[in-house]
Chain A
Amino acid sequence: MEATITLRVDGEKHELTVDTRTTLLDALRDRLGVTSPKKGCDHGQCGACTVLVEGRRVLSCLTFAVAQEEAEVTTAAGLAGEGELHPVARAFVDNDGFQCGYCTPGQVCSAVGMLREAAEGWPSHVSGDLEGPVRLDDEEIRERMSGNLCRCGAYANIVAAIREAAE
C-alpha cells in the first residue's frame, strides 16, 4: 500500500509517495537522498539514525514516514546554516568526538535534543532530584547519551564535546 505524504526536512518541503511500511529513515535515505542520518541497526538499538522531530530526538528507524506528515524533521546536515557548524557539531570536531564518523550525525542530533531536555528540567536515571533544574555534569551527559552507541569508543571525547558546547 502506498501513500502520498509531505515531509519537511532541514527546512525543505518534499512531496513523495511511499510504501506505508517505509520508515522515516528509509524515506530520508532512499527516497530523498538525505543520508545524514545513518542506519546502524534498524531496530532502535544504536541511535545512529537519530534526528530531531519538532526539536525532540527521535529514532528515525522506529517511526514510519507516513506518521511524520508535515512534521519538522532536522538532521545533522540541517542543524546549522550554510558554511557554518552548529556549536555542538563544532565541539565534536574540536574534541575528536568521533573516529569513523558513522554514529556521529546521530550523536550530534541526540546531544542537541538532550541539551534541550536538560534545559527543560527533564530528570534522568542518575538525577538525584526529580524536580528543579538539571545540573548537567559528566555523569548526566553519559547517562543521557547512552542510547547512542559508538563502536570506535569515542565516548570520553563525546562527553568533553558536549560539556564544552553546553557551557
Chain B
Amino acid sequence: MSETRVMGQPLTRLEGERKVTGRAPYAYEHPLTDPLYLHPVLSTVPRGRLTGVDASAAEALAGVRAVLTPYNAERLAGAGDGEFAVLQSEEVSFHGQFVAAVVADTPETAREAAALVRVEYARAPHDVVLTADHERLYRPVGEDDEGPASDTEEGEVEAALERAEVVVDQTYRTPTEHNNPMEPHTTVAVWEEEPGRLTLYDSTQGVHVVRASVAGVFGLDPERVRVVAPHVGGGFGSKGEAHAHDVLAAMAARVLPGRPVKFALTRQHMFSLVGYRTPTIQRVRLGADRRGRLDVVVHESVEQTSTVQEFTENSAMCSRWMYAAPHRRTRHRMAALDVPVNFWMRAPGEAPGMYALESAMDELAQACGVDPVELRVRNEPERDPQSGAPWSDRQLVRCLREGAERFGWYGRDPSPRARREGDWWVGTGVAAASYPHLYNPGSVAVVRYGGEGVYEVSIGAVDIGTGAWTALTQIAADALGVSVSRVRLRIGDTDLPSASVAGGSSGTSSWGTAIVAAARAFAAEHGGAPAPGAVARASAGEDTVDEGYAVYSFGAHFAEVAVHADTGEVRVPRMYGLFSVGRVVNPRMVRSQFLGGMVMGLSMALHEQSFRDPRYGHVANGDFAEYHVATNADVRDLRAEWLEGEDPRATPMGSRGVGEIGVVGTAAAVANAVYHATGVRVRDLPITLDTLVR
C-alpha cells in the first residue's frame, strides 16, 4: 500500500465505550422475545453405553418444554461420527459428553429438571492416562496425507549424537490446559419453520466457519443458516470451530420452532466440551560442539487425542525452523484416549513446543558455558532450515540482542543460585519466540460508497478482543485514502461476505488483504468520484504471500524471577518481550496482544494444569477456584516492545499476525530464570512450590 496515514496510529478501540459500560452485546445478550433456556445432562462415566434415560420426573416439572435424549433426538445425516454427533447413539466416549438436555421456561427450572434426569450406563474399561510409551501410540499423519508431516528427518541423527562434544537429552512435560475465555461458550438458536431458517447468536471466532459446520450437520442450505457475533468474550482457539453445544442448541430450537433457545455453558461444562490443549511429553536431544554450535536437533512429542475426533498438536514443528543444524529429526506420536476432544489453544504446537526447545537450549548454554543469548545467535540459520528459502524478515538476533540491552540482561553472573536478596533467590532467563505467518485466502470484502464521503466496508470477520473492529477500520481507511471517520465497518454476521476464522494469528492478515483488494477494485471500477451506491467486491487472493520466502515472526522474552528460599513461592517481578511482526497496524492494541500473550505464558509457567482423574476420566479441578489462571497480583513490571518494520511479502499492509507470539517461549523464559535463581531445573509445567523446596 502506498500511503499509511491511519495504520500505525494508536487509536483507542472503536467499540470501547460500549464495552466499558457493558452495552456491547455478546451472544447471550441480544434482545429476543420469549426465550427458553437449555441445560444439558453430561455423562458421568468415561466410556460405555447408555442403557436407559428416564426423563419422566424432569418432564413432569412445571415449565419444562422438552427433554432431548438419544432416544428421541433427530437423526443428523451430516454429523459424521465426530464431536457433532450429538445424541446420535447410546455410546459414551468420554466423561462430560452430552447425553440429554432439558429446555424450560426459566434457567432455574431447566437446571433443576436436568438434575432429575436419570441416566443408566453399562461401563466399559477406559484409558485416560497418557504415557511416553503408551501401547496405542501412532503416527498421526501418513506419508500420503495432506497437511504438515508428522515426522521429518535430515542427515544422520544418531551418528551425530554419538560424536557430539556436548549432548542435552531431556524430557519436558506440559499438562492438560484449558483455554477458559471469560465468556463461556454460548449459543442462542432460533428455528423458523417457514421458510426453514436457523439463526444462531453465537460466541465464536468465525461466523462463517460455524455456519458451514452447522449447515452441514443439519443438511441445510448454508443460505438458510445465519450466525451473528458482533462481540465475543475471548476464545484463544476454543471458539475457532463450532462445537457440540452449537449442534445441541440448534436441535433444541428445531423441536421448539419460533422460540429462541438460550444455551450458555457453565464454566464447569467448558472442561469437557469446547477443547483444550493436550498434555505433551517432549524429548529433546541437542548435540553441539563445546562452543555451542548445534550439529543435531531431535524433537519428539507424545500427545493425546480423543477417540471421537483427532486433533494433532504440532509441538515439535518449531524445531524445523528455529535453529541451524545439519542433522535434524522431528516426530509426533499420539494416543487416542477416552477423553474429550482436544483442539486449538493459543499457539497450538508452538506454545508447548517452544517451552521444551527453549528450555533445552538453556540447558545447552549451561553445559557449554555460553551465554544463552549468544548461544542462540551462534545457531542462527541463514535460510529456513526446513525449505531452504530465504527469510522474509527474520529478526531473531536483533530481538535477542536489543532485548537483552533493554531488559538489562548483560553483566549477570551466569552461575545458578548466585543472587540472594533477603529471603529470595533471584535469577533471570531468556527464551526465543516465533510464530509462522498464517494467511487464509478467500475472504471477501465489499466496499460500498454511501455518499457524503462515507464508505461502508463489509466482511464477515469477528472481533474476539483482538481489536479487529478498529484495526480493519484503519486498514480500510488507508486503502480508500480517507479518514477513519469516513469508514463504516460491518463485521460479525454471516449476512456479510465470507471471511476466515480469527485463529492462527491470521485474522488481520486475511481480512485486511481482502479489504485492500476490495478498495483497489472499487477505485478501478468507480474512479475518484464515485456515485452514491457504487459497490465493489473482491476476495483475498491465493498469491499475496510471496512463496519464495520463509515468512515468520520472531521475538525474545526476558524474565526475572524471585523464588522464596523457605517456601519455594515463585514471583515474577519483571517480564520483557521484544518482537518483530512487520508493520504494526495499531500500536495500542498490538501492545495489548503481546502483553496478554505474555500473561498467558506466565500463567502456563506457574499456574495452569487440569488434573484428569484416572478413575472417572473427568477434570477434577474444573472451575476457576481450582484451575488457576494469572491474576492481577501475579503480573508486575510487564513490558512489550517491537522493532519497527514492514513485511510486504506477508500482506499488502506489510503486517504479520500478533495474536499468538506473546505466549510462545514465555514459559521457557520463566523456567530458565527459575533455574538461574535456584539451580533447580523444572521440566514439568507448571512450576509449583513443591518442586523448588529441598
Residues of A near B591 (CB, < 8 A) are: 96
Expressed in whole angstroms, the Cα–Cα distance for A158 and B264 within the complex equals 27
Known contacts A26-B107, A104-B19, A149-B624; decide if A40 and B267 are in contact (CB<8 Å): yes
Q: Which residue of A lies closest to B19 (CB)?
A: A101
Q: Is B195 an interface residue when CB atoms closer than 8 A count as contact? A: no
Query: Which of A30, A35, A145, A156 is close to B638, meaning CB atoms less than 8 Å apart?
Result: A156
Residues A100 and B233 in contact, CB atoms below 8 Å apart: yes
Q: Which residue of A lies closest to B15 (CB)?
A: A101
Instruction: Mark each residue of chain A from 40 to 78: 1 if its CB lies under 8 Å from any CB of chain B, else 0.
Output: 111101101000000000000000000000000001110
Q: Is A153 an interface residue when CB atoms closer than 8 A count as contact? A: yes
Q: Smallest distance from the beta carbon of B25 to chain A beta carbons, Å? A: 7
Q: Is B309 an interface residue when CB atoms closer than 8 A count as contact? A: no
Expressed in whole angstroms, the Cα–Cα distance for A37 and B600 within the complex equals 24
Q: Is A134 an interface residue when CB atoms closer than 8 A count as contact? A: no
Residues B16 and A93 in contact, CB atoms below 8 Å apart: yes
Q: Is B12 an interface residue when CB atoms closer than 8 A count as contact? A: yes
Known contacts A146-B631, A153-B600; decide if A38 and B624 are in contact (CB<8 Å): no
Residues of B near A103 (CB, < 8 A) are: 182, 233
The interface centre, meaning the residue of B31, B266, B593, B596 with most chain A CB atoms within 10 A of its CB, is B596
Q: Is A155 an interface residue when CB atoms closer than 8 A count as contact? A: yes
Known contacts A40-B183, A100-B232; decide if A153 and B597 are in contact (CB<8 Å): yes
Q: Is A120 an interface residue when CB atoms closer than 8 A count as contact? A: no
Within 8 A of A (CB), among B37-63: 37
Count A-B pairs with CB separation below 8 Å.
Answer: 183
Instruction: Mark each residue of chain A from 84 to 97: 1 if its CB lies under 8 Å from any CB of chain B, else 0.
Output: 01000110111010
Q: Is A108 an interface residue when CB atoms closer than 8 A count as contact? A: yes
Residues of B near A30 (CB, < 8 A) are: 37, 106-107
Residues of A near B466 (CB, < 8 A) are: 99
Expressed in whole angstroms, the Cα–Cα distance for A84 and B576 within the complex equals 36
Residues B635 and A85 in contact, CB atoms below 8 Å apart: no
Q: Smallest distance from the beta carbon of B381 to chain A beta carbons, Å? A: 31
Q: Identify whether the interface residues of A are mostly helix, strand, loop, or mixed.
A: loop
Q: Is B193 an interface residue when CB atoms closer than 8 A count as contact? A: no
Q: Is B481 an interface residue when CB atoms closer than 8 A count as contact? A: no
Residues of B near A104 (CB, < 8 A) are: 19-20, 22
Q: Is B184 an interface residue when CB atoms closer than 8 A count as contact? A: yes
Expressed in whole angstroms, the Cα–Cα distance for A45 and B627 within the complex equals 10
Expressed in whole angstroms, the Cα–Cα distance for A39 and B181 within the complex equals 12
Q: Is B29 an interface residue when CB atoms closer than 8 A count as contact? A: yes
Residues A39 and B264 in contact, CB atoms below 8 Å apart: yes
Q: Is B633 an interface residue when CB atoms closer than 8 A count as contact? A: yes
Q: Is A15 an interface residue when CB atoms closer than 8 A count as contact? A: no
Residues of A near B20 (CB, < 8 A) are: 76, 85, 89-90, 92-93, 98, 101, 104-105, 108
Expressed in whole angstroms, the Cα–Cα distance for A89 and B234 within the complex equals 20
Query: Which of A85, A92, A151, A153 is close to B595, meaning CB atoms less than 8 Å apart?
Result: A153
Residues B592 and A39 in contact, CB atoms below 8 Å apart: no
Q: Is A154 an interface residue when CB atoms closer than 8 A count as contact? A: yes
Q: Which residue of A lies closest to B31 (CB)?
A: A33
Residues A46 and B19 in contact, CB atoms below 8 Å apart: no
Residues B596 and A99 in contact, CB atoms below 8 Å apart: yes
Q: Which residue of A lies closest to B236 (CB)?
A: A151
Within 8 A of B (CB), among A130-167: 141-143, 145-146, 148-159
Q: Is B599 an interface residue when CB atoms closer than 8 A count as contact? A: yes
Residues A93 and B13 in contact, CB atoms below 8 Å apart: yes
Expressed in whole angstroms, the Cα–Cα distance for A130 and B283 within the complex equals 51
Q: Smallest distance from the beta carbon of A165 to chain B beta carbons, Å? A: 11
The interface centre, meaning the residue of B184, B603, B632, B634 with most chain A CB atoms within 10 A of its CB, is B632
Residues B181 and A151 in contact, CB atoms below 8 Å apart: yes
Q: Smallest distance from the beta carbon of A128 to chain B beta carbons, Å? A: 15
Residues of A near B232 (CB, < 8 A) are: 100
Known contacts A41-B623, A41-B624, A93-B16; decide if A153 and B635 are in contact (CB<8 Å): yes
Q: Is B118 an interface residue when CB atoms closer than 8 A count as contact? A: no
Q: Which residue of B lies closest to A42 (CB)?
A: B266
Q: Is A22 an interface residue when CB atoms closer than 8 A count as contact? A: yes
Residues of B near A8 (CB, < 8 A) are: none
Q: Is A122 an interface residue when CB atoms closer than 8 A count as contact? A: no
Within 8 A of A (CB), among B3-24: 12-13, 15-17, 19-24
Q: Smallest distance from the beta carbon of A77 to chain B beta carbons, Å? A: 5
Q: Is B273 an interface residue when CB atoms closer than 8 A count as contact? A: no
Residues of A near B180 (CB, < 8 A) are: 151
Expressed in whole angstroms, the Cα–Cα distance for A148 and B629 within the complex equals 11
Residues B22 and A43 in contact, CB atoms below 8 Å apart: no
Q: Is A21 an interface residue when CB atoms closer than 8 A count as contact? A: yes
Q: Is B248 an interface residue when CB atoms closer than 8 A count as contact? A: no
Query: Which of A22, A48, A157 is close to B108, meaning CB atoms less than 8 Å apart?
Result: A22
The interface centre, meaning the residue of A40, A45, A89, A153 with most chain B CB atoms within 10 A of its CB, is A153
Residues of A near B13 (CB, < 8 A) are: 93, 96
Q: Smallest distance from the beta carbon of A86 to chain B beta carbons, Å? A: 8
Within 8 A of A (CB), among B605-652: 623-625, 629-636, 638
Residues B12 and A29 in contact, CB atoms below 8 Å apart: no
Q: Smallest distance from the beta carbon of A147 to chain B beta carbons, Å? A: 8
Residues of A near B107 (CB, < 8 A) are: 26, 30
Expressed in whole angstroms, the Cα–Cα distance for A92 and B629 within the complex equals 22
Residues of B near A142 (CB, < 8 A) are: 632-633, 635-636
Closest 7 CB pairs of A and B: A36-B22, A153-B599, A100-B465, A102-B233, A101-B19, A105-B22, A153-B596
Q: Can you give 30 contacting A-B residue pairs, CB < 8 Å?
A: A19-B106, A22-B108, A35-B26, A36-B22, A38-B26, A41-B623, A43-B624, A43-B625, A76-B21, A77-B21, A79-B21, A90-B20, A99-B467, A100-B183, A100-B231, A101-B231, A108-B20, A141-B632, A143-B633, A146-B631, A146-B632, A149-B624, A151-B600, A153-B595, A155-B599, A155-B634, A156-B635, A156-B638, A158-B632, A159-B632
B residues touching A (Cβ–Cβ < 8 Å)? 12-13, 15-17, 19-26, 28-29, 31, 37, 106-109, 180-184, 231-234, 236, 264, 266-267, 464-467, 588-589, 591-593, 595-600, 603, 623-625, 629-636, 638
A residues touching B (Cβ–Cβ < 8 Å)? 19, 21-22, 26, 29-30, 33, 35-43, 45-46, 48, 75-77, 79, 85, 89-90, 92-94, 96, 98-105, 108, 141-143, 145-146, 148-159
Taking A142-B632, A142-B633 as given, write out 20 further A-B residue pairs in contact, using a Cβ cutoff of 8 Å, ordered by the A residue number: A19-B108, A29-B29, A30-B37, A35-B22, A35-B25, A39-B28, A45-B267, A46-B182, A46-B624, A76-B21, A92-B16, A93-B12, A93-B20, A99-B589, A100-B182, A101-B20, A101-B231, A108-B20, A142-B635, A146-B633
